[in-house]
């Protein structure tokens, strides 16, 4: 009883542990730690600082959007046609090899849209740099272009930066008297668009002023092909330090489901390896065979001249099974039992009736020779085999 109590307490403890794990790890605590500077700008994120609203807007507008979870070295000409990079964290910034591949992709005709307050980049013949700017409340179109169509005022955050592009093909579209927050430049056959405040396309800012119009205007005249949101440089699709396969489950409950499964497996192993009840006696091998037992009983019966007891055992069981086969009461007369059995099978009614009567007599004490007893038992076994009793 004490062992069983320990097992129940173990199961209850594991259940409480699972609940604690769910509360500890399934709840997303990153939201409370984010701000306008450190917010995660992934299109997977529906927090105030994420960009899921922008992604969903394009998706529902039949723009043909997707999420790019590969390094820039995997970019191919026209696949995708447009790449949107929104403020990747510093630890995931692309390396020089990726920047070179990105520059070739843009030069071959791709449209690159970068939304970030800190940009220091060289693409083709263009050098791009951003610099902190003072808070602007009068951000407006600087000239009529496809990017400023329908825009009167743009709402920006206090952290918005200004951009400078060293290129002969640069065009400045939106800004104030001191700085520019939206510019674009030709790079070979492609183009790069620079927006220096992610607040404009973030969940908490896209609905302010004319921000949503500006977000859609960024895709004016885009090349054919898919619009891809860069998620690789937000950590998605990457190989974790602890293992490659687990990267596919990043941000999901699957790792903790696997941990719980491992704990359950440990419990199962413990249950099988631990004795909870009284010890089970070891199995003892029989010292005699079935044939030896039958021979001994036959010899005892012969020496005791108890043929009636042997017949009684064999005949009583045979008669019970025959009654069940015929569907009649065990108390029915032998002749009627034989008739009922004959109706259900091809057994000889007369012969069966005589067999039942003779066996009944012997079981009640009528003397019988060993030869006749053997014939009667043989006849009973034949009928049992014939009727599958």
Summarised one tens digit per residue, pLDDT across range 58-69 is 999 888 899 999
| pLDDT value, residue 221 | 83
| pLDDT value, residue 53 | 93
Strand order in the sheet with 171-175: 65-68, 227-230, 82-86, 111-115, 190-195, 180-187, 171-175, 140-141
136 pLDDT tier (thresholds 50, 70, 90): low
Q: How far apart are the C-alpha atoms of 343 and 328, rounded to whole Å? A: 12
pLDDT digits (tens, 9 = 90+) for 155-191: 998 888 899 999 899 999 999 888 899 999 999 999 9
Residue 31 has pLDDT above 80, yes or no: no
Residue 358 has pLDDT above 80, yes or no: yes
pLDDT digits (tens, 9 = 90+) for 308-342: 666 777 778 888 888 888 888 888 888 888 888 88
The pTM is what?
Answer: 0.59
Read off the tokens for 386: 């014939």
- The full 3-state SS of the chain, as one line of letters, equals CHHHHHHHHHHHHHHHHHHHHHHHHHCCCHHHHCCCCCCCCCCCCCCCCCCHHHHHHHHHCCCCEEEECCCHHHCECCECCEEEEECCCHHHCCCHHHHHHHHHHHHCCCEEEEECCCCEEEECCEEEEEEECCCCCCCEECCCCCCCCCCCCCCCCCCCEEEEEECCCCEEEEECCCCEEEEEEEECCEEEEEECCHHHCCCCCCCCCCHHHHHHHCCCCCCCCCEEEECHHHCCCCCECCECHHHHHCCCCHHHHHHHHHHHHHHHHHHHHCCCCCCCCCCCCCCCCHHHHHHHHHHHHHHCCCHHHHHHHHHHHHHHHHHHHHCCCCCCCHHHHHHHHHHHCCCCHHHHHHHHHHHHHHHCCCCCCHHHHHHHHHHHHHHHHHHCC
Q: For the chain, what percent of residues have pLDDT higher than 70? A: 78
Residue 371 has pLDDT above 70, yes or no: yes
| pLDDT value, residue 382 | 85
Q: How far apart are the C-alpha atoms of 370 and 124, rounded to whole Å? A: 115
Count of CB atoms within 10 A of residue 67's CB?
16
Among 294, 307, 314, 306, CA closest to 356:
314
Domain boundaries, the chain: 34-238, 290-387
Note the CATH number of domain 34-238. Answer: 3.40.50
384 contacts 318 by C-beta, under 8 angstroms: yes
Looking at every residue in the chain, the average pLDDT score rounds to 81
């Amino acid at each position: 009883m004490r062992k069983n109590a320990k097992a129940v307490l173990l199961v209850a403890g594991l259940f409480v542990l699972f609940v604690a794990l769910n509360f500890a790890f399934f709840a997303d605590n990153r939201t409370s730690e984010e701000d306008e500077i450190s917010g995660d700008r992934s299109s997977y994120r529906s927090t105030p600082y994420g960009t899921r609203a922008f992604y969903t807007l394009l998706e529902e507008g039949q723009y043909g959007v997707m999420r790019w979870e590969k390094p820039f070295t995997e970019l191919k000409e026209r696949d995708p046609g447009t790449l949107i990079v929104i403020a990747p964290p510093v630890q995931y910034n692309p390396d020089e090899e990726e920047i070179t591949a990105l520059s070739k992709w843009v030069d071959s005709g791709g449209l690159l849209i970068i939304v970030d307050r800190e940009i220091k980049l060289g693409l083709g013949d263009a050098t791009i740099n951003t610099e902190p700017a003072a808070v602007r409340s009068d951000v407006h179109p600087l000239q009529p272009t496809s990017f400023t169509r329908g825009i009167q005022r743009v709402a920006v955050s206090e952290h918005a930066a200004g951009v400078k592009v060293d290129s002969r093909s640069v065009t400045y579209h939106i800004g104030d008297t001191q700085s520019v927050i939206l510019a674009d430049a030709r790079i070979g056959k492609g183009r790069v668009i620079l927006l220096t405040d992610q607040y404009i396309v973030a969940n908490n800012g896209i609905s302010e002023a004319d921000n949503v119009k500006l977000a859609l205007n960024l895709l004016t005249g885009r090349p054919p092909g898919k619009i891809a949101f860069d998620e690789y440089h937000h950590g998605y699709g990457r190989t974790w330090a602890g293992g490659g396969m687990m990267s596919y489950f990043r941000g999901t409950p699957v790792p903790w489901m696997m941990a719980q499964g491992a704990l359950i497996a440990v419990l199962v192993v413990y249950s099988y390896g631990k004795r909870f009840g009284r010890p089970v006696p070891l199995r003892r091998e029989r010292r005699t065979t079935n044939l030896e037992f039958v021979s001994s009983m036959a010899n005892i019966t012969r020496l005791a001249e108890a043929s009636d007891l042997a017949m009684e055992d064999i005949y009583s069981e045979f008669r019970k099974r025959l009654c069940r086969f015929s569907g009649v009461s065990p108390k029915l007369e032998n002749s009627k039992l034989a008739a009922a059995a004959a109706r259900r099978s091809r057994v000889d009614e007369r012969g069966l009736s005589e067999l039942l009567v003779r066996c009944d007599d012997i079981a009640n004490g009528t003397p019988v020779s060993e030869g006749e007893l053997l014939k009667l038992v043989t006849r009973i076994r034949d009928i049992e085999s014939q009727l599958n009793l």
